[in-house]
Amino acid sequence: MTQPIIVTGGAGFIGSNFVLDWIAEVGSPVINLDRLTYSGNLHNLDGLADDPRHHFVQGDIGDRELVRRLFEEHRPRAVVNFAAESHVDRSIDSPGEFIQSNIVGVFNLLEEARRYWGALTGEERTDFRFLHVSTDEVYGTLGPTDPPFTECHPYAPNSPYSASKASSDHLVRAYHHTYGLPVLTTNCSNNYGPYQFPEKLIPLMIFNALEGKGLPVYGDGTNIRDWLYVLDHCRAIRRVLEAGRTGETYNIGGNFEKTNLEVVKTLCALLDELVPDSPHRPFESLIEFVTDRPGHDWRYAIDPTKTRDELGWEPAETFDSGMRKTVKWYLENGERLRAQIDHDRERLGLGG
C-alpha cells in the first residue's frame, strides 16, 4: 500500500503515537497536518526526521485552501482526524478555541474531504475513508451501577470540550447520511502513555512527585475513568480504518475502570519501586485534595464489545502493564520532553 494518509493533529499525544506506530507497522506515507498549538510537539517525531514517509505540514484543519492543496497534491486514501483542543480545564476557561478547532475546523475539513472524494472514481473512491477520533466524554456521566457506554448511548456532553467533540461527531455522521461520505467514528476512553503533554493527570503526577510537589487530586478522588494505553488505541484505530463499516461508530476502551485516587496511588507505588533513592518517598504522602472542577463528570466507562466482536480488537496491555511502561518511559524521557515543551512555550510566548 503506497497511497498516503493524511493525519491531522499528528504532533499531539495520541497523534504522534499513531504516526510512529503507522510508519512502523503499515509503512505507507503520512502527511501530518498540525497547527502546533501549545500541546503539539514535533520532537515527538524526531525518530522520523530522515524518513521520507513522514511529511509534516504546519497548518490548521480549518484552512480550506491548505487542506484542498494537500488533498490534490497527495491524493490520500484516508484522513485520520486527531486535531482538536483537548483539555477539559482549558475549555472551561476559554471555550472559544474549542468551538473554532473542534467544530468549525472539522466542518472545514469535512467540506474539503467531500469535495476531494466527490471527484474520485473507481477504487480510489471506494477505498477512501474519513476517520474521526472522538471521546467517551460525549456520552456524559454515569452513576455507580449504570452499564458502560455502548455506541447507542444518547449523547449528553457536560463540558465545552465534550460538547464541541459531540458537535463534530454529529457533523461527521451527517456528512455520511447526507452526502454519502465514507466516514468512521471512534469514541475512546482516557488514554495514557508516552508523549502526553504534562498538564494531563498522569504525566503531571509523575513530574510533581519527582520534584516533591503536591499531587493535586480533584474533590475526594472518587471520579472514575476507564483507562487505555495509547498504543492500544492506535492499534484499534488502524483496525477500524482497515475493516470498520462506513457510517458506523466504534467504542474503544479496555474495561479498566479506576478512580482518580487509585490511578495516583498506582503511580506512587510504581515510583516508590522504580526511584528507591528519592527523598520524596513514600510518594503517596504528597497527595492533596483540591477543589473539584465545575461540572466534573463522575464516571465514564466504555463497552468495547462491538469493536471486539466485529473487528477482533483487544487491548494488548492491562492497566498494570501499561502504567509500568508509562512510568518507566517518563523516568527515561520526561526531562527531555519537558525541556522541549518549555523551549516551545518560550518561542510561542506562552506563560508557564
Binding site for ligand NAD (CB under 6 A): 8-9, 11-15, 33-37, 39-40, 60-62, 82-86, 101, 105, 133, 135, 165, 188, 190-191, 197
137 a catalytic residue: yes
Catalytic residue among 34, 112, 136, 303: 136
- Are 271 and 203 contacting, i.e. CB atoms less than 8 angstroms apart? no
Whether residue 4 contacts residue 29, with contact meaning beta carbons closer than 8 Å, is answered with yes
**Cα–Cα distance, 211 to 202 (Å, whole number):** 15
Closer Cβ to ligand NAD, 60 or 232, answer by number? 60
From the CB of 40, what's the least distance to ligand NAD, in Å? 3
Residue 15: CB minimum distance to ligand NAD, A: 5
Shortest distance, CB of residue 48 to ligand NAD, whole angstroms? 15
> Which residues fall within 8 angstroms of residue 155, CB to CB, at 6 or more apart?
138, 139, 140, 166, 169, 170
User: Catalytic one among 161, 175, 250, 330?
Assistant: 161
Q: Which is nearer to ligand NAD, 77 or 200 (CB)?
A: 200
Complex with ligand NAD: residue 153 or 165, whichever CB lies closer: 165
Q: Is the separation of the CB atoms in 42 and 54 below 8 Å?
A: no
* Least distance to ligand NAD, CB of residue 126, Å: 27
Strands 257-259 and 287-290, by their bridges, are: unpaired
Q: Any alpha helices (H) in 147-295, and if so which ranges?
A: 160-179, 201-210, 230-243, 260-274
- Which is nearest to 313 in space by CA: 217, 238, 212? 238
Closest chain position to ligand NAD (CB): 12
Q: Cβ closer to ligand NAD: 107 or 289?
A: 107
Closest approach of ligand NAD to the CB of residue 82, in Å: 4
**Nearer to ligand NAD (CB atom), residue 176 or residue 225:** 225
* 282 prior amide bond cis, ω within 30: yes
Strand order in the sheet with 54-58: 54-58, 30-34, 5-8, 78-81, 129-135, 183-188, 249-252
**Closest listed residue to residue 21, CA positions, set 67, 43, 57, 54:** 54
Q: Which of 34, 60, 85, 137 is catalytic?
A: 137
161 is catalytic: yes
176 and 183 Cβ atoms separated by less than 8 Å = yes
Residue 81 beta carbon to ligand NAD: minimum distance, rounded to whole angstroms: 7
Q: How far is CA 270 from CA 154, 284, 288, 324, 334, in A?
A: 38, 11, 18, 7, 15
Q: Which is nearer to ligand NAD, 29 or 193 (CB)?
A: 193
Q: Active-site positions? A: 136-137, 161
